[in-house]
Amino acid sequence: MSERASGFTLGEIVARFGGELVGDGSLRILQVSTLEQAGGDQITFLANPKYRKQLHTTRAAAVILHRTTAVDCQRPHIVCDNPYAYFARVAQLLNPARRPEAGVHPSAVVIASIPDSIHVGANAFIDAEVKIGAGVTVGPGCVIGRGARIGDGSLLHASVTVYPDCVIGRNAIVHSGAVIGADGFGIAREADGSWTKIPQIGRVVIGDDVEIGANTTIDRGALGDTVLEDGVKLDNQIQIGHNVRIGAHTAMAGCVGVAGSARIGRRCTVGGGAIILGHLDIADDVNISAATLVTKSITQPGTYTGAMPFEPHRDWMRNAARLRHLENMADRIQELEARLAQWEKRT
């Protein structure tokens, strides 16, 4: 019987992940769910105080929560410092990833020498000089270009394309339709207005424990490499330009665009639809809100938000410059109002 089918007791969960157990440790948990929908053999969590009232109506067997909300919970519960992260680990425990059996589908074309422990799906193509680690899954329709490297335990879902010489580290997850290592947008304009392509001779180098969403594209470097450090998490339909560097454990939501040669620090978050212009530096621990347009480097950690409506470029530049001084202008207006009030009293 699988771990998911048999479940785990609350006591076993706490023994694995820590936390403080309040209630019956022998209670067996089979699955995770939401506060609103959980049933009698499921565990849920409370991370947002907005849902605190649902503690009184949930039918969950147990709840994962912070000590500040534990006083409101009458059901068995696990007290921890980070309920959402704790819930994620429990969800992984109860839903272990399913991997296909090792072997090469008869319709796949494999030119490189590969270990016996990997799975290659139908109609996949693995070119010469490719190096693939143990336990890798290459899904149906994937194309792995000449000289590419993929680390142990990585999972490529269907129709992933990895261009020649690109590197993917260990335990990566690459979702369907992702393209790793296409040419960056390098073109030079000639005097007659035509364009001349600049060969893109760098690579994409991806670290360990990285996840790349469906239909996300990561361009190869023009001269050096495009680099994603360990633990980076990219959502669906993201565009990463050539020679970008993304620091360890940074996460980006869907439809983010990062232009070429931008350098993004570690542990950053970027909200959906945000745009980061090229050749900018983003410090560590920066949080960029959804739909924000980043037009200059960010040198200090913190949260940054902003978007402006479309208008002629000259007008936009003038208004943007004024917006930067808006706080100073407000202070000056308050000072003038105070002076005016004093003058009115005298007259």
Whether 249 is a known active-site residue: answer no
| CATH code for position 291 | 2.160.10.10
The pLDDT tens digits for 84-123 are 999 999 999 999 988 899 999 999 999 999 999 999 999 9
Q: Assess if residue 310 is contained within a domain.
A: no
Same domain, 209 and 277: yes
The residue with greater pLDDT, 136 or 345, is 136
The angle subtended at Cα 55 by Cα 61 and Cα 31, nearest 5°, is: 30
- Where a domain ends, among 94, 127, 145? 94
CATH number at residue 74: 3.40.1390.10
- Domain of 262, in residue numbers: 103-304
Residues 236 and 128 in one domain: yes
222 with 294, same domain? yes
Same domain, 300 and 324: no
Average pLDDT for the chain? 95
Residues 241 and 120 in one domain: yes
Asked, for residue 161, whether it belongs to a domain, the answer is yes
Task: Judge if 289 and 321 occupy the same domain.
Answer: no
Query: Which residues is 252 bridged to in the sheet?
Result: 234, 270
Residues 259 and 135 in one domain: yes
Return the number of other C-beta atoms located less than 10 Å from residue 302's C-beta: 9
Taking only the tens place, the pLDDT of each residue in 19-50 is 999 999 999 999 999 999 999 999 999 999 89
Say if residue 72 is in the same domain as residue 197: no
Q: Give the position of tokens 């997850």.
A: 173
Instruction: Give the pLDDT confidence of 142-188 residue by residue, as tens digits.
Output: 999 999 999 999 999 999 999 999 999 999 999 999 999 999 999 99
Task: Band the pLDDT of 4: cuts 50, 70, 90.
Answer: low
pLDDT at 317: 83
Q: From CA 18, how far away is CA 30, in angstroms rounded?
A: 19
Domain co-membership, 155 together with 228 = yes
Pair (159, 67) in one structural domain: no
Number of domains in the chain: 3
84 in the same domain as 34: yes
Complete edge-to-edge strand list for the sheet that includes strand 275-276: 109-110, 125-126, 143-144, 161-162, 179-182, 217-219, 239-240, 257-258, 275-276, 293-294
Whole-angstrom distance, CA of residue 282 vs CA of residue 276: 9
d(CA 73, CA 63) in angstroms, rounded, equals 8
Domain membership of residue 327 (yes or no) is yes
What is the pTM (predicted TM-score) of this model?
0.89
Interior CA angle at 318 toward 317 and 321, to 5°?
85
Same domain? For 284 and 255 the reply is: yes
Residue type, 2: S
Q: Which residues pair with 204 in a beta bridge?
A: 226
pLDDT tens column, 254-309: 999 999 999 999 999 999 999 999 999 999 999 999 999 999 999 999 999 987 76
Distance of alpha carbon 338 from the chain centroid: 50
Choosing from 66, 77, 242, 249, the catalytic residue is 242
165 CA to centre of own chain = 24
